[in-house]
Amino acid sequence: MYSKEHQIFLKKEKVRKTKIILIQLLIVFTLIVLWQFLSDKKIINNFLYSSPSNILNTINNFNKEELFNHIIITTYETLISFLIASILGLLIASILWSNKMIAKIVEPFLNIINSLPKVALGPLIIIWFGTGIDSIIVMALLISLLLSIINIYNAFTLTEKNYIILLKSLGAKKHQIFFKIVLPYNKKNIFNTFKINISMSLIGVIMGELLVSKRGLGYLIMYGSQVFNINLIITSIFILGVLSYIIYFIINKIEKYFFK
């Protein structure tokens, strides 16, 4: 049973979170209404900047099954890339933490490869992996995996030293220190990296689809630019934003459940 003070605190937290959600919804609603108003009054060029009503019309006029398939393909590629990058990122970062010599050898190469413009590697990826889904996933991994390794490894190295010294003084082995101290200490950092990963994976997938795909939301954006269909481009971007939010929301819920 919570104390009276704690119940008051929880109530205030609930009210604060509700206010935040309402303000966020109000901002989105205001921007949509303002966008439509500016379009209706011809203050902005409706052909170049589209409008919320044009986006709805584009969705309504689109073959629903075809549009759904494009969304599913992009979602599938993003989730596969995200899972591979998250698992490999955590695994490789753990290996680097456990072996300082390997970490010293590999770290410069990770930073160099991470700093390379991934779009410039696009032609090589197409030659090596073809023009199918493999190229798209590799492109996404190039963006998200290296970032994941670097972020998680850096978090591991910043674990509170006193905890590690204490366990060493009690005779704990390296794997015991890792699972008892390093991993639990960095749960928040790992989940924050996963949140970044999902956005990076989505960016990588769209970049890959722009280069090689004949399906997916990235393909719709590229096709829309080729036929100068601004409504299709902005509609695809809008759907991407919604998709990104849904995936982020799910990860956020998993994080809260995990910590609870």
On the 0-12 / 13-18 / 19+ scale of CB atoms within 10 A, 154 is: middle
Q: Where are the domains of the chain?
A: 69-259
Compute CA 13 distance to the chain's CA centroid, rounded to the nearest angstrom.
27
**163 Cβ contact partners less than 8 Å away, ≥ 6 residues apart:** 181, 185
Task: Please state, in angstroms and rounded to a whole number, the distance separating the CA atoms of residues 203 and 118.
Answer: 11
Q: For the full predicted model, state whether its pTM sits above 0.85.
A: no
Task: Please state, in angstroms and rounded to a whole number, the distance separating the CA atoms of residues 203 and 140.
Answer: 7
Q: How many other C-beta atoms lie within 10 A of the C-beta of residue 6?
A: 10
Q: Which 3 state secondary structure label does DSSP give 102?
A: helix
Task: Please state, in angstroms and rounded to a whole number, the distance separating the CA atoms of residues 17 and 141.
Answer: 34
CB contact burial 210-224 (16+ within 10 A = b; e otherwise)? bbbbebbbbbbbbeb
pLDDT, position 2? 66
Q: How many other C-beta atoms lie within 10 A of the C-beta of residue 102?
A: 13
**13 Cβ contact partners less than 8 Å away, ≥ 6 residues apart:** none
What secondary structure does DSSP assign to 136-166, as a single string?
A: HHHHHHHHHHHHHHHHHHHHHHTS-HHHHHH
Task: Please state, in angstroms and rounded to a whole number, the distance separating the CA atoms of residues 157 and 174.
Answer: 14
Residues in the chain predicted with pLDDT less than 50, given as ranges, are none
Whether 114 contacts 146, CB under 8 Å: yes
**133 Cβ contact partners less than 8 Å away, ≥ 6 residues apart:** 77
Type of residue at 104: K
Cα separations (Å) of 148 from 27, 64, 81, 186?
Answer: 32, 36, 12, 13
pLDDT one-digit tens code per residue, 224-258:
888 888 888 899 888 888 888 888 888 888 887 77
Domain 69-259: top CATH class: mainly alpha
Compute CA 248 distance to the chain's CA centroid, rounded to the nearest angstrom.
7
pLDDT, position 93? 92
pLDDT, position 1? 61
